[in-house]
């Protein structure tokens, strides 16, 4: 039973437009959420995170929105650039859990076309 789901395996957007990547979770105990970006042949790199006490967190072109009632989070990239083409993973955690473990979604491949 997947507790974190990314229902879109791929997304294609035009350079300069907004990219919206979505993530749903089922475990209401999750209270910390992260997005990672992964290029081919590299490890995932941390992008942005949000605590459940917030509904929005912004870092430059990247904004994460959290809707706790819907158990849904999204990552907005504005404006999208060709260098943003990568696989994006969302992850969820219960702060203070033994091991600081994360549960990952299956990933969404973003392609930004010039």
Residues forming the site for another protein (CB under 8 A)? 6, 9, 32, 34, 36, 41-46, 49, 89, 93, 95, 98-102, 104-107
What minimum distance in Å lies between the beta carbon of 3 and another protein? 10
Burial class (CB within 10 angstroms; exposed 0-12, middle 13-18, buried 19+) of 76: middle
Nearest to 14 by CA among 77, 82, 75, 63: 82
What minimum distance in Å lies between the beta carbon of 83 and another protein? 17
What minimum distance in Å lies between the beta carbon of 81 and another protein? 21
Nearest to 44 by CA among 87, 10, 11: 87
R_g of the chain computed on alpha carbons:
14
| Residue among 78 and 95 whose Cβ is closer to another protein | 95
| Residue among 42 and 114 whose Cβ is closer to another protein | 42
């Amino acid at each position: 039973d997947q507790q974190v789901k990314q229902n879109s395996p791929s997304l294609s957007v035009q350079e300069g437009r907004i990219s919206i990547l979505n993530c749903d979770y089922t475990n209401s105990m999750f209270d910390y959420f992260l997005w990672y970006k992964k290029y081919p042949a590299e490890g995932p790199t941390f992008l942005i995170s949000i605590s459940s006490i917030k509904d929005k967190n912004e870092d430059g072109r990247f904004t994460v929105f959290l809707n706790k009632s819907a158990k849904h989070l999204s990552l907005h990239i504005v404006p999208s650039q060709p260098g943003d083409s990568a696989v994006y993973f969302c992850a969820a955690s219960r702060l203070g859990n033994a091991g600081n473990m994360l549960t990952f979604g299956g990933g969404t491949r973003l392609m930004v076309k010039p």
